[in-house]
Amino acid sequence: MYWCCYFCNSVPIPANISIKQLLELIPEKELAALSESTNVDFQVKTLYGRSMFYLLLYGLATCEKTSLRGLEDVFNSNRFKILFSLDRGQTVRYNSLSDRLATMDLSFFEKAYKMIYSRFSKEFSSKESSSYNIVRVDSTMVAETAGKLAQGMAVGCKKNGKKQVKYTLCLDDLFPSSVQVFTSQSELSEDRTIPKTILKVTDPSPNTVFVFDRGVSSRQAFADIDDRDWNFVTKMKTNARYHLLETRALPENLQTGDATVSSDELIELYDRYNKRLPNKFRLIKGCNGSGIAFFLLSNMLQTPISDIIDIYQKRWDIEVFFRFIKQELNFNHFISTSTNGIKIILYMTLILSMLILIYKKGNQIGYKTAKRRISMELDDMVTIQIVIASGGNPDLVFRGP
């Protein structure tokens, strides 16, 4: 799934933006409409779609290491119910949460993510360039530790029954804009998953550039992307075989940072049957600041060399994003071991990541600090509601007499 946004009405992220302001951008009416259209609440007495949405959002934001028992404690706490106006008489057990994650309508969370991504990407932008919409594409693996995963890929060569799940994601500007979940052993190769994720994109803007690492080596995948007239930049192995069509003259005074470019070539590639593909590609050869050789492949035949190198260097942002969600949002373990539950947790993790990314950018702080302050602000919001409900003035508590 992918939702392209042109950012025509977006504005810079306000300084000192609060989590309260961000939560107000999640439309309650549209969440309610999603509950009705998806039947997520059909024959449900306690764990409604809205309740699960905010339980996962709050639990992922505030728990040190989120688990089903931790979510049980969160749901049964008065603080959580006061903050999101839930019935304080309702309680739940962790096994009920497990069953609900395994069976509830996934489309409610998928559509909620689509709605919130659309809202946030229209509201805010941190565009790095007016010339290109750079979409970083990469995968990360999460492995289980207890051998209980319903579906997944084998981990290494060990035959201990443990499995792993592969997540392939597009990072567009500030936000994760597209995601695919893979559990089949045949999808272990990036040649299968990254092109599949890219080709599921609908209507990218003409200036969109997909950038991915050399894990993709399928020449047919490069041709398939080029056949759609979509731009891409990737790295190739330096021993790659190709047919040289033309060696281009390098521009004078070429500025490429600490990289040294040795050639700019127009080439054709060979497919798996050793036949030349008709697509024309560009191969930029050079060495980085450490003297290590690199080959950059692109179908952007007229783009300046310095832009191609700069676009590829921005691929690193998605590595930082994966490290952030694994270290700070507990995405390095499974809360649910069912495929349905894994996907629900994924959507909610990405929704929370958007909140944190905006908060981090607006307050000019790091990921860890942003998450910690969001948790503290949520506590302040609960305290304010308690003071108001008790007939007091929260300004006297937070601003003094």
Pairing state between β 133-143 and 163-172: antiparallel
CA distances to 130, 197, 223, 267, 308 from 281, rounded to whole Å, are: 24, 21, 9, 5, 13
Residues 150/339, Cβ–Cβ less than 8 Å: yes
Q: What is the pLDDT of residue 130?
A: 57
At residue 332's C-alpha, the angle toward residues 183 and 119, to 5°, is 85
- Banded pLDDT at 10 (limits 50, 70, 90): low
The DSSP bridge partners found for residue 298 are: 233, 282
**Of 154-158, 241-245, 255-259, 337-341, which range is least confident?**
154-158
Q: What is the pLDDT of residue 159?
A: 65
User: What is the C-alpha to C-alpha distance for residues 145 and 164, in angstroms, rounded to an integer?
Assistant: 9
When pLDDT is averaged across residues 55-60 and rounded to a whole number, the result is 96
User: Among 70, 37, 34, 40, which Cα is nearest to 55's?
Assistant: 70
Q: What is the pLDDT of residue 137?
A: 96
Place of tokens 């007016």: 130
Q: What would the two tokens of residue 336 be? A: 């649910």
> Angle of helix 68-75 relative to helix 94-103, nearest 10 degrees?
110
User: What is the C-alpha to C-alpha distance for residues 233 and 216, in angstroms, rounded to an integer?
Assistant: 11
CA distances to 46, 80, 102, 133, 303 from 169, rounded to whole Å, are: 33, 31, 23, 16, 26
The yes-or-no verdict on residue 120 having pLDDT over 80 is yes
- Banded pLDDT at 390 (limits 50, 70, 90): confident
User: What is the C-alpha to C-alpha distance for residues 360 and 239, in angstroms, rounded to an integer?
Assistant: 41
The yes-or-no verdict on residue 393 having pLDDT over 90 is no
User: Among 48, 50, 68, which Cα is nearest to 59's?
Assistant: 68
The amino acid present at 124, given as its one-letter code, is: F
The amino acid present at 289, given as its one-letter code, is: G
Q: What is the pLDDT of residue 3?
A: 39
Q: 77: burial class by Cβ within 10 Å (0-12, 13-18, 19+)?
A: middle
Q: What is the pLDDT of residue 396?
A: 67
The yes-or-no verdict on residue 401 having pLDDT over 60 is no
List, in sequence order, the alpha helices (H) in 7-48.
19-23, 28-38
Q: Express each pLDDT in 37-57 by its tens digit.
A: 999 999 898 999 999 999 999
Q: What is the pLDDT of residue 12?
A: 72
- DSSP string of 251-313, one letter each residue: PTT---TT-EEEEEEEEEEB-TTS-B-S--EEEEEEE-TTS-EEEEEES-TTS-HHHHHHHHH
Entry pTM: 0.89
> Across all residues in the chain, what is the average pLDDT?
90
User: Among 167, 266, 170, which Cα is nearest to 210's?
Assistant: 170
Q: How many CB atoms lie within 10 A of CB 104?
A: 23
Q: What is the pLDDT of residue 154?
A: 85
**Of 121-135, 156-170, 336-350, which range is least confident?**
121-135
The yes-or-no verdict on residue 274 having pLDDT over 80 is yes
User: What is the C-alpha to C-alpha distance for residues 131 and 206, in angstroms, rounded to an integer?
Assistant: 10
Pairing state between β 208-212 and 231-236: parallel
User: What is the C-alpha to C-alpha distance for residues 377 and 379, in angstroms, rounded to an integer?
Assistant: 5
User: Among 108, 118, 125, which Cα is nearest to 26's?
Assistant: 118
3-state secondary structure 208-267: EEEEECCCCCCHHHHHHHHHCCCEEEEEECCCCCEEEEEEECCCCCCCCCCCEEEEEEEE
First to last CA, the chain: 51
CA distances to 314, 340, 350 from 141, rounded to whole Å, are: 21, 17, 16
Residues 116/123, Cβ–Cβ less than 8 Å: no
The yes-or-no verdict on residue 116 having pLDDT over 50 is yes
Q: What is the pLDDT of residue 149?
A: 84
**Across 21-90, where does the E strand assignment appear?**
none
**Of 159-163, 333-337, 382-386, which range is least confident?**
159-163
Q: What is the pLDDT of residue 398?
A: 59
Contacts of 313 (CB under 8 A, 6+ apart): none
Q: What is the pLDDT of residue 126?
A: 60
**Of 125-129, 190-194, 362-366, 391-395, which range is least confident?**
125-129
